[in-house]
């Protein structure tokens, strides 16, 4: 058997690309159907046009609408399908590999689905590294598909993320190094019709009439074993890498959660301290205002006391002056009385009391008369605004109480003397 692909220079595929823009112009009939299928039809149109307009990767691909049947038996609504051949270099010769490239409804945010579609004279190579027996293509480029940024909703001059042109370039290079198909054992009918046309399938290339000698089965099995070992090693490395990534992610998330919890607790405590400080600040401001009001009040009361003190000092000075004048008058009166007594008959000596009750009655009567005089002078001082009404009332109450006690005492003495006379 021969490890081979399809010969270059397919006449029908080349004819499809001779028109202006190649297969890109054939996309026009499907433009009105894109918004009903795809979430971002402008990006889909840009990616497909970019591929179909490129040479040689997309020049032999034609757009169609067809449902995609998944491995689980489910199918999608009709989606955009790019069917045709892609070039690949194998041992210096360009071959054209037939493929079906489906664009799912969420494209370009999910990777496309690619199938290798060999013709009846070809078969899928078993245990191929990148192609399953059903023809489905598995590539690192598809596994690591990078969608455009979420903000990219309009067409830009340059493509961002993964795209169809790069995908086809990847397949051309990888399949050139390791072709996914090989020729079936030739039979007489197949050899007779080797150069015949393939009917109306314009995308299928011509089958080469001359095949390269195949390797012996042991060499082919060795190649398969090496390919399978490489695939298993690659899968093992991917699993280890995924496990390491998962462990690292879990550890980082755990550490971040711990840090976030600690920082959150510290922030909560700081907020509580801040609330306490703000409350203390408010209390201090209230106390300051209260103390300021008390200080102003005390200052006002101090000024009032100073004024009252000045008034009282003036009143005391007036009283002392009046008392001094009265004493001087009494001394003059006493001197005059002494002089009169010396020159006249001592009549006052004849009116002196002879017993203790009479002496008490005379002293109490003199005290009552002096209180009347004091009240009179207080009234005069009030009229002249020498003293305030409060001071006047206080002194009058005190003197009246004293006068009342003196008069009551005199009445008591008089009652006692009257009782003794009986």
Q: Which residues are registered as beta bridge partners of 94?
A: 89
Q: Which long-range contacts (CB under 8 A, 24 or more apart) does 32-37 make?
A: 33/65, 34/80, 37/77, 37/78, 37/79, 37/80, 37/105
Range of the domain at 98: 11-187+203-214
Please report the pLDDT score of residue 189 as a whole number. 45
Residue 338 lies in a domain: no
Structural domain ending residue among the three candidates 156, 179, 214: 214
Q: Is the bond leading into 56 cis (omega within 30 degrees of zero)?
A: yes
What is the chain's length? Answer: 422
Give dist(CA 207, CA 119) in Å, integer.
9
Give dist(CA 349, CA 327) in Å, integer.
23
Q: Divide the 422 residues of the chain into consecutive groups of 10 and give the mean pLDDT of each group.
A: 34 36 63 80 88 84 86 80 89 87 89 89 86 88 85 58 88 88 64 39 38 48 65 72 85 90 92 92 93 92 90 84 76 72 57 78 90 92 90 93 92 87 76
β-bridge pairing 79-90 and 93-103? antiparallel
Structural domain ending residue among the three candidates 171, 195, 214: 214
CB 391 within 8 A of CB 379: no
Neighbours of 267 (CB within 10 A): 10
Sign for the CA dihedral angle at 364, 369, 373, 376 comes to: positive
Residue 107 lies in a domain: yes
CB 203 within 8 A of CB 62: yes
Structural domain ending residue among the three candidates 179, 214, 249: 214
3-class state of residue 65 by DSSP: strand
What lies within 8 Å, CB to CB, of 207 at 6+ separation is 6, 7, 119, 121, 194, 195
Question: Token pair of 176, please?
Answer: 């050139």
Phi and psi torsions of 57, nearest 5°: -65, -40
Please report the pLDDT score of residue 191 as a whole number. 40
Give dist(CA 277, CA 297) in Å, integer.
30
> Interhelix angle for 217-343 vs 356-383, to 10°?
120
Residue 326 lies in a domain: no
CB 364 within 8 A of CB 411: no
3-class state of residue 88 by DSSP: strand
From the list 181, 162, 205, the residue with the least C-alpha distance to 60 is 205
Q: Which long-range contacts (CB under 8 A, 24 or more apart) does 36-40 make?
A: 37/77, 37/78, 37/79, 37/80, 37/105, 38/80, 38/103, 38/105, 38/106, 38/107, 39/105, 39/106, 39/109, 40/108, 40/109, 40/153
Residue 310 lies in a domain: no
Residue 219 lies in a domain: no
Sign for the CA dihedral angle at 65, 6, 13, 27 comes to: positive
Residue carrying structure tokens 């006690």: 405
Give dist(CA 4, CA 8) in Å, integer.
12
What lies within 8 Å, CB to CB, of 243 at 6+ separation is none
CATH code, domain with 126: 3.10.110.10
Residue 315 lies in a domain: no
Sign for the CA dihedral angle at 387, 391, 393, 398 comes to: negative
* Total domain count, the chain: 2
Residue 238 lies in a domain: no
Residue 368 lies in a domain: yes
Q: What does the angle CA 87 – CA 88 – CA 94 come to, to the nearest 5 degrees?
A: 85
């Amino acid at each position: 058997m021969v490890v081979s692909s399809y010969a270059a220079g397919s006449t029908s595929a080349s004819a499809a690309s001779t028109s202006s823009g190649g297969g890109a112009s054939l996309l026009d009939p499907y433009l009105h159907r894109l918004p009903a299928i795809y979430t971002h039809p402008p990006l889909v149109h840009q990616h497909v046009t970019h591929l179909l307009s490129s040479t040689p990767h997309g020049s032999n691909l034609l757009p169609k609408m067809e449902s995609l049947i998944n491995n689980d038996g489910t199918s999608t609504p009709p989606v955009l399908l790019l069917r045709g051949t892609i070039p690949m270099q194998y041992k210096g010769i360009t071959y054209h590999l037939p493929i079906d490239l489906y664009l799912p409804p969420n494209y370009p945010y999910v990777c496309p689905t690619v199938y290798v579609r060999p013709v009846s004279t070809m078969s899928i190579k078993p245990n191929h590294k990148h192609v399953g027996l059903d023809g489905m293509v598995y590539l690192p480029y598809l596994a690591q598909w990078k969608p455009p940024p979420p903000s990219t909703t309009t067409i830009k001059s340059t493509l961002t993320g993964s795209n169809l042109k790069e995908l086809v370039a990847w397949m051309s290079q990888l399949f050139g190094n390791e072709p996914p198909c090989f020729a079936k054992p030739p039979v007489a009918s197949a050899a007779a019709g080797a150069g015949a046309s393939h009917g109306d399938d314009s995308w299928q290339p011509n089958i080469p009439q001359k095949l390269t000698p195949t390797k012996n089965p042991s060499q082919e099995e060795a190649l398969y074993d090496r390919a399978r070992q490489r695939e298993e090693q690659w899968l093992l490395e991917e699993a280890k890498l995924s496990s390491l990534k998962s462990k690292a992610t879990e550890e980082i998330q755990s550490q971040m959660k711990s840090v976030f919890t600690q920082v959150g607790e510290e922030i909560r405590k700081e907020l509580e301290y801040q609330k306490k400080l703000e409350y203390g600040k408010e209390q201090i401001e209230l106390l300051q205002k209260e103390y300021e009001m008390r200080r102003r009040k005390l200052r006002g009361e101090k000024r009032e006391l100073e004024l009252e003190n000045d008034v009282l000092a003036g009143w005391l000075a007036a009283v002392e002056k009046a008392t001094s004048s009265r004493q001087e008058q009494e001394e003059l009166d006493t001197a005059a009385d002494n002089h009169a007594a010396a020159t006249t008959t001592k009549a006052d000596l004849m009116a002196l009391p002879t017993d203790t009750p009479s002496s008490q009655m005379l002293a109490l009567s003199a005290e009552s008369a002096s209180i009347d005089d004091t009240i009179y002078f207080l009234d005069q001082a009030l009229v002249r605004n020498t003293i305030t009404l409060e001071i006047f009332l206080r002194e009058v109450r005190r003197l009246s109480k004293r006068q009342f006690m003196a008069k009551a005492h005199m009445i008591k003495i008089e009652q006692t003397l009257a009782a003794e006379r009986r």
